[in-house]
Amino acid sequence: MKRNDVDLTGRTFYDLNVKCRHTEKLYNETAWVCKCLACGNITYATTSQLLHGKKKSCGCRRKKTPPNALDLTNKQFGKLKVVERAGISKDGRALWLCHCKCGNTIVTNATSLRIGDVKSCGKCLVDERIKHAREELMTNKTIDGVPVPLLTKKVRSDSGTGHKGVQRRVRKGKEKFEAYITVKGKRKYIGTYSKLDDAIKARKDAEKEYFEPYIKALKEREKE
């Protein structure tokens, strides 16, 4: 019987159990659909690869940790505690699953852990910076309960007019522009105008009246 006529269905070669003949050839040779008994993945192998032991698994065996590999389990790197091995990266580096003190998890390579490039999940550092910025705003940048930097904050990208404190309204088919200003959490109505430029001017006049005293007070305090 020719090799191409051999039926390998049901036979097991190392970690590979042959399920059926593949509909296409590989390397111009009859191929077989195989299930890897080591991990459960489906792979393909030629008749000669199976009979001569050239292919013994789907490749997962190569991904297992070598006996002499450095074990980082339970070691601490900054805010990260290593839990377990998590495979290898595309460039062959060992990957490790780590728990961060903030409760998040992260998978990173051993090299980054050992040289200190990765010391946390990253998210908690962002949260800390946001918290620090908020504390700085409320303690050092606030006058009489008013966070001064927020007074000069840029207009939101979803603004319908492109100007803070000015909204476009359509009433009875007519376009109007409302101007308002918020001070100490309270919204003050300035007026309604037929022209956008008039509404913008009214808003800027209100900023001089309500915002300028706080801005000047903060500047004076920072000079001290």
Q: pLDDT tens digits for 153-203?
A: 888 777 888 898 999 988 888 899 999 999 888 899 999 999 999 999 999
Contact 210, 151 (CB under 8 A): no
- pLDDT at residue number 144: 84
How far the first Cα of the chain sits from its last, in Å, is 99
- Count of C-beta atoms within a 10 Å radius of residue 219: 11
- pLDDT at residue number 1: 44
Q: pLDDT tens digits for 103-156?
A: 888 888 888 888 888 888 888 777 777 777 777 777 788 888 888 888 888 887
- pLDDT at residue number 218: 86
| Cβ contacts of 47-54, under 8 Å, gap ≥ 24 | 47/3, 47/4, 47/6, 47/8, 48/3, 50/8, 50/11, 50/13, 50/16, 50/18, 51/3, 51/6, 51/13, 53/13, 53/14
Q: Chain-centre distance of CA 221, in angstroms?
A: 40
pTM: 0.43
Q: Does the pLDDT at position 38 exceed 70? A: yes
